[in-house]
Structure 1
Amino acid sequence: MTIFKSTVFAAAAAATALPALADEVNIYSYRQPELIKPLTDAFTEETGIKVNVAFLAKGMVERLQAEGDRSPADVVLTVDISRLAAVVNAGLTQPVESDVLDANVPASYRDPDDHWYGLTTRARIVYASKDRVADGEVTTYEDLADPKWEGRICSRSGTHAYNVALVSAVLHHHGEEATKTWLEGVKSNLARKPQGNDRAQVKAIWAGECDISIGNTYYMGKMLSDDEQKAWADSVNIVFPTFEDAGTHVNISGVAMTKASPNPENALKLMEFLTSPKAQEIYATANFEYPIAAGTSADPLVQGWGSFDADTVNLMTLAGNRADAIKLIESVDFDG
């Protein structure tokens, strides 16, 4: 029997049911413990409710399915809309009606059926060499397929969740045929076979292997906070590309209540707290992201990267494009 023994722990074995305690709430989280603890500490201080967190590196859907009605989890915290959608589509969450949640989270950042709510956003941007890319040389995602970038782009795997979400957005805006053509163009512009993570692409720009790459905004903050990686960050500018007829692609971290929640009242209190301006600013600052509640501000470092207008498409729409996006990515052998 696995029991929540501490506020933050690494979950390794399937958990069995916990009693519904009036002063506790249990989270399954894809986010690292160090990013969760400032939030859970603040919630406990404000409400007196103890928060227990199981950190899952993978397999959240499978674990919740295996536990069924015996699951101790009240709330799931995830990054990337595809992971949120996977939990919802598996029938493992329940809709939540809350005026507080609706007031804190704009419609484009919550599930139309009230199963999940966004907490913070990150933009999928272009990292551009300060030395080899002129201001204004890249302004749209469509630009990335322009032959002028031949041999100048670095990318992580096309089938990584972050790139799949971006391709899902291209598919939404341009349709299947144009998206395939775009993918073929981007692939032909790659300087090397897709590999590594977003930071590895910036390192490659620093090393002169390519001139631009695609990455999430928060990686700039992480690189600037690392003694070795700061030089990589200093070698690039952040560019906020847009779609030709829309805004900058964003993704989210989000929260949902499990269908089997043994402590639904406490779970709702936690969700409302997590979407509050106070909690969103704590969360966003910890990971260099953007809070989404009205009246909130990003960390000054993040604000210094510039402003952008986010694409307004509801992210659940993009999640619905995921399977087709992966098929297109594989059809052009993007990682080959």
Structure 2
Amino acid sequence: MVSKRVVLAAGVVAASLAGPTAAWAADEVNIYSYRQPFLIQPMLDSFTAETGIETNVVYTDQGLVERLKAEGMNSPADVVLTVDIKRLTELAEADVVQPVSSPVLDENIPAAYRHPEGLWFGLTTRARAIYASKERVPEGTITRYDDLTDPEWKGKVCTRPGDHVYNIGLISAMIAHDGVEDTRVWLEGLKANLARKPGGNDRAQVKAIKEGLCDLALANTYYMGAMLNDPEQRAWAESAYMIFPDLSGHGTHVNVSGMAMTQSAPNTDNALKLMEFLSGDEAQALYAEVNHEFPVKPGVPRSDLVASWGEFEVDSINLAEVAAHASEALMLVNEVNYNEGP
């Protein structure tokens, strides 16, 4: 016998998912996910245990919008799980998701972390932090994103490519607060201080701190937890401490992981139940433990490790407003040739 829960690899199920939606049982909900299996499976297991609704998941790392557009109303997908405000916005702009109205979601998820018309909802937040060398950067030296452009740090800053969605989110938030020209000046100053050509992921930047290639790096907060739990990377994490920098007096920039209901959803009732469950106490606590993220629902405690990083002021701007500047952010990255390095 085959288990009713099916975890599907995106590369091998295109043909099977193109068939009639009637092939999927009424007590199931179908998910397309950018989020990795180990991150969301604990939440899905709890959801099934509580509701009896089975989950079918397609995991992939790219092409969800294109896939949903190609499948149209024949798509079996009910819910999309993804990271970053830019990717959530792409779903909304492609018209492949539908508005959801739910008092439960409105109560659990602050307005800053959901689309004004209910096209997407945040599930967790993560801060775009500055990692600093414990050996070479005294605590209190860096307090703002602007400090990364100080000539004192010339040749000492590492980042992943500027056009990655995590950096586009930060640059978009700067544009929202300070305008395009001031943000251009900041980006040029950051480029001038780079230790090397941007490349690799966030963890690679912290590794570069351990190796002495740079003293400062931009990286999401949850990577600290991930590296500390990886024996091969623990030394990278232990070489640095995290700073929650201020953005023009508004606090630290945060981004989200989130969810949306597809236009084609054949199981809308089950999809809504899943979305409401993921915004609730149990799932939010699991998110906090498994991936070292900040729960989006007020009152849900952070994990002990995340709590140990300390409190910080969060930029309260609505992320839909931030996302509106993504095209301008990408334009600036290209105009200053950021990815060419110093």
TM-score of the alignment, normalized to the shorter chain, above 0.5? yes
**1:241 aligned residue:** 245
Distance 1:97 1:272 in 2: 11
Q: Is the 8 A contact 2:4 2:54 kept in 1?
A: no
Correspondences of 1:58-207 after superposition (within 5 Å)? 58-207=62-211
Correspondences of 1:10-89 after superposition (within 5 Å)? 10-12=9-11, 13-14=13-14, 15-16=17-18, 17-19=20-22, 21-89=25-93
CA deviation after TM superposition for structure 1 residue 6, in Å: 4.1
Distance 2:251 2:7 in 1: 37
Higher mean displacement: 16-25 or 284-293: 16-25
CA deviation after TM superposition for structure 1 residue 93, in Å: 0.7
Q: Is the 8 A contact 1:8 1:37 kept in 2?
A: no
Amino acid at match of 2:272: L
CA deviation after TM superposition for structure 1 residue 11, in Å: 1.5
CA deviation after TM superposition for structure 1 residue 239, in Å: 0.5
Q: Is the 8 A contact 2:78 2:266 kept in 1?
A: yes
CA deviation after TM superposition for structure 1 residue 22, in Å: 2.4
Distance 2:111 2:281 in 1: 16
Does residue 217 of structure 1 match 2:217?
no
Q: Is the 8 A contact 1:128 1:212 kept in 2?
A: yes
Match of 1:315 among 312, 319, 323: 319
**1:7 aligned residue:** 6
Where does the alignment leave 5 or more consecutive residues of structure 2 unmatched? none
Amino acid at match of 2:298: A
Amino acid at match of 1:122: R
Where does the alignment leave 5 or more consecutive residues of structure 1 unmatched? none
Amino acid at match of 1:196: G
Amino acid at match of 1:33: P
Instruction: Describe the SS at the equivalent of 1:261.
Output: coil
CA deviation after TM superposition for structure 1 residue 317, in Å: 1.1
Distance 1:307 1:35 in 2: 24
Match of 1:277 among 275, 281, 287: 281
Distance 2:227 2:298 in 1: 28
**1:265 aligned residue:** 269
Following superposition, which runs of at least 4 residues in structure 1 exceed 2 angstroms of deviation? 4-7
CA deviation after TM superposition for structure 1 residue 5, in Å: 7.2
Q: Is the 8 A contact 1:277 1:294 kept in 2?
A: no
Instruction: Describe the SS at the equivalent of 1:279.
Output: helix
Does residue 297 of structure 1 match 2:301?
yes
Provide, for residues 44-67 of structure 1, a one-character-per-residue CA deviation record: whole Å limited to 9, x for no partner: 000000111110211000000111
Distance 1:309 1:71 in 2: 41
CA deviation after TM superposition for structure 1 residue 120, in Å: 0.5
Instruction: Describe the SS at the equivalent of 1:330.
Output: helix
Distance 1:165 1:288 in 2: 20
Distance 1:21 1:106 in 2: 33
Question: Share of identical aligned residues, percent?
Answer: 55
Provide, for residues 285-307 of structure 1, a one-character-per-residue CA deviation record: whole Å limited to 9, x for no partner: 11110101122011101111111
Distance 2:258 2:7 in 1: 19
Higher mean displacement: 7-16 or 157-166: 7-16
Distance 2:289 2:264 in 1: 31
Distance 2:328 2:187 in 1: 13
Instruction: Describe the SS at the equivalent of 1:118.
Output: strand
CA deviation after TM superposition for structure 1 residue 242, in Å: 1.1
TM-score in terms of structure 1 length: 0.97
Amino acid at match of 1:54: V
Instruction: Describe the SS at the equivalent of 1:123.
Output: strand
CA deviation after TM superposition for structure 1 residue 146, in Å: 1.4
TM-score in terms of structure 2 length: 0.95
CA deviation after TM superposition for structure 1 residue 284, in Å: 2.3
Q: Is the 8 A contact 1:21 1:263 kept in 2?
A: no
